[in-house]
Structure 1
Amino acid sequence: MLILPSRRQFLGGLGGAVALGGATGAYAFGIEPRFRLVVTPYAPVLPNWTPGLNLRVAVLADFHIGEPYMPLDRVAEIVETTNALKPDLVLMLGDYPAGPGVAWRDVPLPEFARVVEGLKAPLGTYSILGNHDWWEDPVAQANRRGPVAARRALEARGIPVLENDAIRLVKDGRTFWVAGLADQQPFHMVHDWRNPSDIPGTLAQVTDAAPILLMIHEPDAFPKVPARVALTMAGHTHGGQIRLFGRSPVIPSRYGQRYGYGHIVEQNRHLVVSGGLGVSRVPVRIGVPPEIVLIDLGAPDRTATRPLPDIPG
């Protein structure tokens, strides 16, 4: 026999569903993107890493500065948390300004650069540019050339911006290279498909057999990265911003879920895709909170010797 719910039961259930949906929406729009911050550790065993080269790398991607989701005090919190991890090296993977629809009030790029200048690492802080660093610069878009405002702001504070460049660094007497690729999607006009990124030209600047850390913004360049590169790091996808059961409804990549998020290994080549820190297009995050990526190389047990600080949320 079919038993129908009473009017009171139906309205109570409807009210519960609405409350649950409202609570989920409030969390996704108001809590996770603005107030949560996690540290995501990786310790990949790389096939061509120099024995004895122990390196801790903090990776910061996709700030998308602007109020209310990424004001300066939030940037300062990220800087403080990153410094507490005591990285040897800090790498920033582009997309510093917010895009349309998520910033109610802009934060000037020079003010952002002033705060991230406080990042502390013995081997320094290096950065690349993302598509929004170009798209949100009307002068660069009109002229179809840089340097963009984000590059000028960062370099004015002593943070190098690598666009098809490679730099040789030394840790404990052992050398390695940090390389940065120019953005692959600098112009948002549909008819303009110029791609200034140059993997062969960038890697041609490497003059010895030391391992290479490669920064790219969009992970779609990864299939063209040769095995000579020890580790590639990318941002851009935000992990889809909504991620449930290991998948996201939408990933801004022509490869879909393949390079959506996390540590990916293909043909013995390693890629780490950060979920990023800010929001883009839609001010929502659920299942992929803002993250600082922490990569320990050369010593898989090093994370245990340097405990992670407690992160609220």
Structure 2
Amino acid sequence: MHKMRIRHMLILLCPIAALWLWAFVVEPYFVIVDEEVKIYSPTWDERLDGLKVGIWGDIHGRGIPFETFRIERQAQKLNSLNPDIIFLTGDYITRSYFGKSMDEDALTAILSKLKAPYGVYAIMGNHDSYYSKHKVRRLLRAANIDVIENSNRKIITPKGDFYVAAIADPVTSSYSYRAAFKKIPKGAPVIFLTHSHDVIREIPDAASVSFAGHTHGGQIRIPFIGPLVTHSIYGRHFSDGLVQYENRLIYVNIGTGMSRYPVRFLCPPTITLAKIYKGMQSKSEPQPKIIKNQRRSTGAN
């Protein structure tokens, strides 16, 4: 009888241990998904068709073991995709439950290895404010990364020029579209960056396509249900991928880090390579998720 109980306990505990190992170790630290997407915009410049945009968001360097290992592998994966330009969409460093964050110099050393012909650009996220915006800006600039907040940059290429505009984190900071789009010529192709896609209704029509992060894709997904918490007013259906409101398009990257809980389940760390083309999204390509007038809040990150 005693042996039978032990056997039953082992039968019960083995799957639980396997799930724990997967969610806390394997998926967050050893799995990296690189997704390639095509995004079509009627206001893009066809001379720039096929521009390869690398998107990496929500790194969340924490003061726990193996963070350097995790983030180094993710940086190497992004470089291996050979993007023309790289955008980092916020939340670079986070304090763990023990009050420790990742060593700033270690994170700077990793981020300084990112390479793209037209540069590496970053915006700020809400966790960067919780940690220290001043320190995060300093470590990014030490890595030769251009930080854009309520401003824009003109990117000059042999095929034509385009602009990158960005606002400060809309959750924790004052942000201004007027400042972000200041002096951008009418009709110029513009890539717009924001940490959270909750502002999609506000994005000016001048933006050809937008990119965001923040949601982590839910970070924990339950089969047949999906993400439990999305950190967005638009709910679980819009927690990742291409989202559309009227004529505004925004791509929400799942990101690679973890915020409140050091776990990922059925939502692996993801780096995006987006190729931008002039035109409308064809039926053969993944269709955007359409936001209508309703709103639903599921909490804030």
Q: TM-score, normalised by structure 2?
A: 0.84
Distance 1:114-1:11 versus aligned 2 partners, 3 A rule: closer
What's the CA shift string for 1:173-199, capped at 9, x where partnerless?
Answer: 31111112101222xxxxxxxx40112
Residue 280 (structure 1) aligned to one of 259, 262, 279: 259
Instruction: Give the 4+ runs in structure 1 shifted more than 4 A.
Output: 6-15
What's the CA shift string for 1:54-109, capped at 9, x where partnerless?
Answer: 300101101111244662232222222211111100000110112332x7853222
Q: Aligned partners of 2:270 and 2:84: how far apart in 1?
A: 18
Over aligned residue pairs, what C-alpha RMSD do you find? 2.5
Residue 109 (structure 1) aligned to one of 104, 113, 117: 104
What's the CA shift string for 1:90-140, capped at 9, x where partnerless?
Answer: 000110112332x78532223312221111100000001101111012xxx
Displacement of 1:163 = 0.7
Match of 1:30, SS? helix
1:230 correspondence with 2:225: no
2:76 match: 80
Match of 2:226, SS? coil
The one-letter amino acid paired with 2:148 is L
C-alpha contact (below 8 Å) 1:37/1:291 kept by paired residues: yes
Q: Percent identity?
A: 29
Ranges in structure 1 where 5+ consecutive residues have no aligned partner: 1-5, 138-146, 187-194, 301-313
Distance 1:264-1:70 versus aligned 2 partners, 3 A rule: farther
Displacement of 1:218 = 1.5
Q: TM-score, normalised by structure 1?
A: 0.81
What's the CA shift string for 1:264-292, capped at 9, x where partnerless?
Answer: 12223211111111101011101110111
C-alpha contact (below 8 Å) 1:240/1:248 kept by paired residues: yes
The one-letter amino acid paired with 2:57 is A
1:305 match: none
Q: Aligned partners of 2:188 and 2:66: how far apart in 1?
A: 37
Displacement of 1:210 = 1.6
2:94 match: 98
Match of 1:220, SS? helix
Residue 27 (structure 2) aligned to one of 15, 29, 32: 32
1:65 correspondence with 2:43: no
Task: Mark the structure with the bigger radius of gyration.
Answer: 1
C-alpha contact (below 8 Å) 1:52/1:298 kept by paired residues: no
1:161 match: 147
* Number of aligned residue pairs: 277
Displacement of 1:205 = 3.4
Match of 2:39, SS? coil
Match of 1:65, SS? coil
C-alpha contact (below 8 Å) 1:47/1:268 kept by paired residues: no
Ranges in structure 2 where 5+ consecutive residues have no aligned partner: 280-301
Distance 1:298-1:171 versus aligned 2 partners, 3 A rule: farther
Distance 1:220-1:70 versus aligned 2 partners, 3 A rule: farther
Residue 126 (structure 2) aligned to one of 109, 131, 140: 131
Displacement of 1:17 = 3.6
Q: Aligned partners of 1:69 and 1:213: how far apart in 2?
A: 36
C-alpha contact (below 8 Å) 1:214/1:232 kept by paired residues: yes
Residue 121 (structure 1) aligned to one of 113, 116, 120: 116
The one-letter amino acid paired with 2:254 is G
